[in-house]
Amino acid sequence: MAIVIKDGYVLTGDEEQPCLPRASILIKDDRIVAIATDVAELPLASIPDVEVIDASRSLVLPGFVNAHMHSNESFEQGAYDNLPLELWLLHKYPPFITPPLTKEDQYLRTMLCAIRSIKSGVTSIQDDVINYGSLDMIAGACAAYRDVGLRAWVTADMGDRQFLEPLPWLDELMPASLRQELATLPNPHWQDQIALFEQAYANWHGVHDLIRIILGPVGPQWCSTDLLQAVTEISEARNLPVHMHCLETKTQAVMAEWLYGKPAIEYLNDIGFLTPRVTLNHAIWLSDREIELLGEHQCSITHNPLSNLKLGSGICQVRKL
């Protein structure tokens, strides 16, 4: 089976010839095999079964990539407005009453995201699933992408510090009774987090042509050095991407100095975390030196402007990057 997209206005992405005002595209076995300005020039003689799509009134361009999203949050769009991230997190992920979603719940939330994405022209998604240590949630997300036919890189999200631990001055501001109650929450060991990733990887990575499992430490402030270094070792051994939030808010930039005695990116550089396989999400509160380090290591950034504006986090320095 082959498909011809006929006589469309084609955006190529090529610097020398960025557009073709009228062109036809031949797709065979899920691959673009030929593009021609005249449909008669396409090698169709040896292909008995061809579906023709008339694109004469259409713009044809590569599918969009959503480079950072959380499918588990898809039911909360428009909720908790006008709050900074640290307060927004307390509403979305309250520490005492947030059980993992069931596999079916996560499947439905992911399916909603996938349908919205396809309707918007998205063909690839990087889904940072906040999974609460639940393999069922990862499975629900992967199953939805498999069923809808959307290419997805799904993280096994990892963190081994208490969720509220990285918030500055919390000890001084929080009542002692509440601090004691928070101290009773389970604190996952970094090796347990790696084991979660390994199981998700074994269950889903490459099982379907469109599904991949990648490494997702949730953020440096929520991860120990041991966990981040273990992530780096796995990434290097298997050539796997690493997807991590970093410096989304000014609070996180201040907290990095508190935790490490240096800026966050300098800390990540010192522990060998920065590589071309690393993508940092948001990355708003970067110093010039931190930008230089990211460039030296060929790291990537997803700057997520909609989220940054909704939460008032700031504006990423895209021109400098």
3-state secondary structure string across 73-120: HHHHCCCCCCCCHHHHHHHHCCCCCCCCCCHHHHHHHHHHHHHHHHHC
The pLDDT of residue 181 is 80
Query: Is 0.85 surpassed by the pTM of this model?
Result: yes
Q: Say if residue 13 is exposed, middle or buried (CB neighbours under 10 Å; 0-12, 13-18, 19+).
A: exposed
Phi, psi dihedrals of residue 84, rounded to the nearest 5°: -70, 160
Residue positions counted in the chain: 321
The pLDDT of residue 96 is 65
CATH of domain 2-60: 2.30.40.10
The pLDDT of residue 128 is 96
**How far is C-alpha 221 from the geometric centre of its chain's CA atoms?**
18
Least confident of 128-142, 174-188, 245-259: 174-188
Residue 196 pLDDT grade (very low, low, confident, very high; cuts 50, 70, 90): very high
In sequence order, the β-bridge partners of residue 278 are 242
On whether the CB atoms of residues 266 and 276 are closer than 8 A, the answer is no
| Most confidently modeled range among 142-146, 159-163, 176-180 | 142-146
C-alpha closest to that of 88 among 290, 320, 310, 318: 310
Read off the amino acid at residue 264: A
State the Cα–Cα distance between residues 115 and 61, nearest whole angstrom. Answer: 19
- pLDDT tens for each residue of 242-301: 999 999 999 999 999 989 999 999 999 999 999 999 999 999 999 999 999 999 999 999
Domain with CATH 3.20.20.140 in the chain: 64-310
Domain with CATH 2.30.40.10 in the chain: 2-60
Report the top-level CATH class of 64-310: alpha beta
C-alpha closest to that of 197 among 152, 148, 232, 149: 232
Q: Where are the alpha helices (DSSP H) in 133-210?
A: 135-148, 170-173, 176-183, 190-204
- Token output for 183: 């101290």
pLDDT of residue 108 exceeding 80: yes
**How far is C-alpha 222 from the geometric centre of its chain's CA atoms?**
17
The pLDDT of residue 240 is 98
State mean pLDDT over 36-54: 89
State mean pLDDT over 135-140: 96
